[in-house]
Structures are given as structure tokens and as C-alpha cells.
A and B are shown apart, each in its own frame.
Chain A
Amino acid sequence: MPANLFEIRWHGRAGQGAKSASQMLAEAALDMGKYVQAFPEYGAERTGAPMKAFNRISDERILLHSSVENPDLVVVIDDTLLGNPDIVAGTDEKTILIVNTVKTVESVRQKCGFKGKVCTVKATEIALEELGRATPNTVMLGAVAKVTGIIELKYVEDKIRDMFLKKFGEAVVQKNIKALHRGYEEVICNG
């Protein structure tokens, strides 16, 4: 693997926005001058079914078109998936896990048996407080920015503006930016 190739696997339930989050991350990384890929895994398309999405980010053109087998980062948007063996597949001590949960880092580790660094963020709670809706994506992107440094907040802010300004106005943009920053500030890591 080229040293600068960073691979992410997102776990969520269909309809929770893992695909949109992976796409927004890709667009922000593109604006930072990176090469990117974002692609979901397509199974039976039913709302609520477990689904995966992937990102690749690199300084060089990305040639790989296989699925991500050994991610550098695993992001779990729905903590009811933690018992699913897919969460730990292809991971080791060097992999990072970020989970949207109110549970502690220790209980997450216990639940899924993850060997690498484990981080938690109360993304749904933050989203409910800031946006009034249980859409944790922007909060999760803030946590990803803090833990990995692969994206910078200001580039995500630009993407939030692109996505929401025309449709929902400046107030919604500001709320999402606040949610993003709270994800960045409030993510807790251990190990």
C-alpha cells in the first residue's frame, strides 16, 4: 500500500446518511487537493438494514477499485451494530474506531472486541441539541477531523455551506457548523 493511502469504512443503517457523510468527506478532501473515492456497498436496499460505505484518500491518483479490506479508520454511526462481526473485520492494533454512542470507550471495546484505538462521541445527542434532528453526520465528520487529521474543519464548513445554504438558509448552515465543531471538541479517545 502507498504510505499515504488512507482507507475508511463506515457502518450504519440504510437511511442514516453514512453514504452522504462519506461523500461529503470526499468532497472536502478533494478541496484540500487530495485524490478521493467514496462508494457504498449495495445490498438489498431497505431502510434500517445494516450497510457499509467506504472512502479512500490519497496524495496520488487512486488506482484501486476493490473494496476496502483493511481500513485505517472504522466509523460506526449506529451503536446497535457493535455486535456485528463486520465491525472488526480486517482491523488490528493500528486501526482507529469512532462510534456514535453515549456508552463509554470501555464498554464499546468490550462489546465489539476492537483491538485498536477506540473513540466515542454522542453524535445523535449533539445533533438533536443543535439541529433538532437525529442526523449525526456532520458531528461524526467533526470527530473524524479531530481524531485523524485527514480533513480540516474549514473545508467541511465549505461543503456544509454548499449543501445547505441554497436549500435551507444561513441559520441551518450555522447550526450544522456548530454541530461539526462540537463533534471535533467532544470526541473522547482511549488506547
Chain B
Amino acid sequence: MPLKQAITGAEAVAYAMKQINPDVVAAYPITPQTPVVEYFAKYVADGVVDTEMIPVESEHSAMSAVVGAAASGARAFTATASAGLALMHEIVFIAASLRLPIVMAVANRALSGPLNIHCDHSDAMAERDSGWIQLWAENAQEAYDFTVMAYKIAEHKDVRLPVMVNFDGFIISHGVEVVETLDDELVKDFIGKQIKMYPLLDTSNPVTYGSIDMYDYYFEHKRQQVEAMKYVPKVFKEVAEEFAKISGRKYDLIDEYMLDDAEYIMIALGSTAGTIKHTINELRKEGKKVGLLKPWIFRPFPKVEYQRLLNGRKAVVVLDRSASFGAEAPLYQSVKSALYEIAVKPQIGSYVYGLGGRDITPTHIQQAFEDAFKGDLIVDEERYLGLRE
């Protein structure tokens, strides 16, 4: 029987990991990721999981430990945020290039400085080009569901790439919401037996990981990473379909909210997408044809889907919770570039919001929609919501 619980996003992720029962977890505490590791450490201490938990001295070591574990053939997990993810940066790339199916939960938080512990997306965006699959959760339910789905995507023989499950720091990690969890057995059967490929511990078939690779083969190896990403949308859809059978919750590359007849479409990642849905419900009562396109997956970026969904609409408003100093914000950049090839281009505008945890309310969202209704969007202008100027 599915169980409805009032729990935080952090607890939801830890609960999913308890059901997955990974071989190795290595993590270093950092706000707002800490409760994920605390809850999981309790499962280890209580003996409800068989996991080897490695307390490490830094995030660089945490990622290094899970890389070693995954290369040896173990199912490995870590969690981090902000400066912790930044400290992992070097090994984050190595995990992807070694094609290791690691899963990492990221409670998205601003990067210093100035020092700030609250939510924005600059930590994950700094790893945008690292070769990891990036899933983005709107709420605690999605954080739980994506954690359950992640290994099946990562370990698929056509993919073999690490997966980052992003959920907004504090807003989701520390907020209590209703989460419907699945039975332990159901999750166990869904995850299935791990598909091992080239494990180091298979001594009768010795392999080398992380060897030197100069201009003779490095490029070919990078090309294989590019290729692997192309299989992700198909595999994600298959896994999502299987997950729907056990949960009743249907995921896709993109969450389409009131999109069918929408003339004005907003695009945003994470928890703000919920606040946008709420605002859309209100605007729809006034007869406004508004909708939301929420990326459930940001890397790889399913360009064709954006082209199909945005062709011929009146206006597209892209909200970014991170900035790219001296260039366009990352989500806007991706969307704008996808629209280059479509037949009937909508007006498009960029809005940066919520840096360092600045609250974003329905009033701000409505304000951006109002600009779109008036035809007041400028393609090369970056605007800001909820900022004192």
C-alpha cells in the first residue's frame, strides 16, 4: 500500500535511498543537504540498510570515494549542495567520463560569496557541462520519485552516466509536504539487480580506469560521452513509463501544464514551477491563455521537444534562478538557442529571480506574464524579479 507521509524533501530522498539500499554512500555534510545524510546515517546505524557508509573529510573525497566504489561495481550514492558540489567539481567530470552510474542528490543552494545558505541554482548550473544527467524536482514527491528512478536510468547499458537529482535547498529540502511513498518490495523490484559493466573487482577480466589518455584517444572518448547522452531521452521515457505502472505518477522529459491552448508560456526549473502553476490557475480564471513548460530533465536538453511545444505561440517567458555573468542565463540560453530553427518564433524574454533564496511570489510571476501580454518582451534584455533597483 502506498503510504502518505508529511515529510521534508530531504527525508523523502533518504527514504528512497533506504529502499534502494545502495552498497556505498560517501558524503560530507553541508547545509541544506545535511538532513539527507543524517536520515540515511540513522538507517545505517539502525541496521535497516546494508550500506557501507564512508564518512569523509571533504566533498572532493566523497565524490572520489563513490567513483572508486562505482568503478569496482558497487551501487554508490552521495549528496551535496553549493560549495560542496563546487569542491567536487574535478571529480564530477571524472565520474561522467568514466561512465559510472552514480546517483547524487543536490539540495540546490547559492554559491559564495557573499556567504549565503539559501536556494538558487548556481551550484548545479556550474556542473551543467560536466556530463551528468540532471533531473529537477518541483517538490518533495518528485525528489522521492526521481531518486527511485535514477539508478535505472544511470545503469542502463546504453547510458552508463551519473545522475544528479536536484531539489531546491530549504524550500524543498526542509519544507514538510505530503509525499506518497511506495512499498519497499515494489521499489526493490523496480530497481532490480544492478547491471554491472566492467567492474574492477572482476579480476578474471581485468580493466583499467582513469589511465592517461592524450591526443591519441581522449577526443574519441569525449565523443562517446556525447553519444551516450543521446540515448538518455529514450531511456528516461522507458523508465518513466515503468515507474507510472507502479506509482500512478507519469513523468516525461517535460512537465506540460495547461500547454495545449496556451498562448503565453513560462519556463522554470524546480519549486518555483509550483508557484507558477498556482498563478496560472488564477490567471486562467480571468480567461488568460497561459501555461507552464517545466523541464524535468535539463541535461541532456531535449531541444526537439521545445521546438515542438513552442512553435507558433505568442510569447515565451524564461525564469532563471542563476545568472551567467556577462552572458545570458543558462535556461534562457538553451531555450533561445532551441528556437533558432522553428518556423513561427514566439516573442521571448529572460527573467532572473530568487538568487540567494530571495522569495518569488505569484505577484512577481504575474508581473512577468503581464509584460508578455503587453507584447513587452525584449529578446536581448535580461530582467529581474523581486530585485531592489
Stretch from A7-15, A33-41, A99-107 at the B interface = A33-41
Q: Are B177 and A42 in contact (CB under 8 A)?
A: no
Stretch from A59-67, A113-121, A123-131 at the B interface = A59-67
B360 at the binding interface (Cβ < 8 Å):
yes
Q: How far is B171's CA from A38's CA once the two chains are assembled, in angstroms?
A: 10
Q: Are A30 and B6 in contact (CB under 8 A)?
A: yes
B contact patch SS: mixed
Stretch from B92-100, B267-275, B328-336 at the A interface = B267-275
Q: Are B278 and A38 in contact (CB under 8 A)?
A: no
Q: Are B177 and A37 in contact (CB under 8 A)?
A: yes
Q: Which residues of the other chain, A, contact B362 by a CB distance below 8 angstroms?
A: 64, 66
Q: How far is B176's CA from A39's CA once the two chains are assembled, in angstroms?
A: 6
Q: Which residues of the other chain, A, contact B38 by a CB distance below 8 angstroms?
A: none
A67 to chain B, nearest CB (A): 5
A69 at the binding interface (Cβ < 8 Å):
yes
Proximity bits, A19-30, B CB within 8 Å = 1, else 0: 000010011001
A-B CB contact pairs (8 Å), 14 listed: A2-B281, A23-B176, A30-B5, A30-B6, A30-B178, A37-B177, A39-B170, A39-B174, A39-B175, A61-B178, A63-B278, A65-B171, A65-B175, A66-B275
Q: Which residues of the other chain, A, contact B170 by a CB distance below 8 angstroms?
A: 39, 42
Q: Which residues of the other chain, A, contact B359 by a CB distance below 8 angstroms?
A: 66-67
B224 at the binding interface (Cβ < 8 Å):
no
Q: Are B275 and A65 in contact (CB under 8 A)?
A: yes
Kindly identify which residue among A26, A42, A65, A66 contacts B6, using a CB–CB cutoff of 8 Å: A26
Q: Are A27 and B6 in contact (CB under 8 A)?
A: yes
Report B264-300 residues with CB < 8 Å from chain A CB: 271-272, 274-275, 277-278, 281-282
Among all A-B residue pairs, the 5 with the closest Cβ atoms: A39-B175, A38-B176, A65-B271, A63-B274, A63-B278
By beta carbon, the residue of chain A nearest B277 is: A63
By beta carbon, the residue of chain B nearest A28 is: B6
Q: Are B361 and A69 in contact (CB under 8 A)?
A: yes
Q: Are A38 and B274 in contact (CB under 8 A)?
A: no
B303 at the binding interface (Cβ < 8 Å):
no
B283 to chain A, nearest CB (A): 13
Q: Are B275 and A38 in contact (CB under 8 A)?
A: no
B221 at the binding interface (Cβ < 8 Å):
no
Q: Which residues of the other chain, B, contact A62 by a CB distance below 8 angstroms?
A: 177, 274
Q: How far is B172's CA from A30's CA once the two chains are assembled, in angstroms?
A: 18
By beta carbon, the residue of chain A nearest B117 is: A42
By beta carbon, the residue of chain A nearest B271 is: A65
B244 to chain A, nearest CB (A): 18
Please give 10 more A-B residue pairs, beta carbons under 8 A apart, in addition to A39-B176, A67-B359: A1-B282, A23-B6, A30-B5, A42-B170, A42-B174, A62-B177, A62-B274, A64-B278, A66-B360, A69-B361
B168 to chain A, nearest CB (A): 8
Q: Which residues of the other chain, B, contact A67 by a CB distance below 8 angstroms?
A: 359, 361
Report B298-318 residues with CB < 8 Å from chain A CB: none
Q: Which residues of the other chain, A, contact B177 by a CB distance below 8 angstroms?
A: 36-37, 62
Q: How far is B6's CA from A64's CA once the two chains are assembled, in angstroms?
A: 16
B118 at the binding interface (Cβ < 8 Å):
yes
Q: How far is B383's CA from A190's CA once the two chains are assembled, in angstroms?
A: 47
Find the residue from B6, B117, B178, B275 having the highest chain A CB count within 10 A.
Answer: B6
Q: Which residues of the other chain, A, contact B4 by a CB distance below 8 angstroms?
A: 30
Q: Which residues of the other chain, A, contact B361 by a CB distance below 8 angstroms?
A: 66-67, 69
Q: Which residues of the other chain, A, contact B171 by a CB distance below 8 angstroms?
A: 39, 65
Q: How far is B5's CA from A67's CA once the two chains are assembled, in angstroms?
A: 22
By beta carbon, the residue of chain A nearest B361 is: A66
Report A45-101 residues with CB < 8 Å from chain B CB: 61-67, 69
A114 to chain B, nearest CB (A): 23
Q: Are B117 and A38 in contact (CB under 8 A)?
A: no
Q: How far is B361's CA from A69's CA once the two chains are assembled, in angstroms?
A: 9
Q: Are A65 and B274 in contact (CB under 8 A)?
A: yes
Q: Which residues of the other chain, A, contact B175 by a CB distance below 8 angstroms?
A: 37-39, 65
Q: How far is B176's CA from A30's CA once the two chains are assembled, in angstroms?
A: 11
A129 to chain B, nearest CB (A): 30
Q: How far is B171's CA from A67's CA once the two chains are assembled, in angstroms?
A: 9
Q: Which residues of the other chain, A, contact B281 by a CB distance below 8 angstroms?
A: 2, 63
Q: Which residues of the other chain, B, contact A61 by a CB distance below 8 angstroms?
A: 178
Q: How far is B168's CA from A23's CA once the two chains are assembled, in angstroms?
A: 20
A31 to chain B, nearest CB (A): 9
B369 to chain A, nearest CB (A): 15
Find the residue from A23, A63, A69 having the highest chain B CB count within 10 A.
Answer: A63
Q: How far is B5's CA from A1's CA once the two chains are assembled, in angstroms?
A: 25
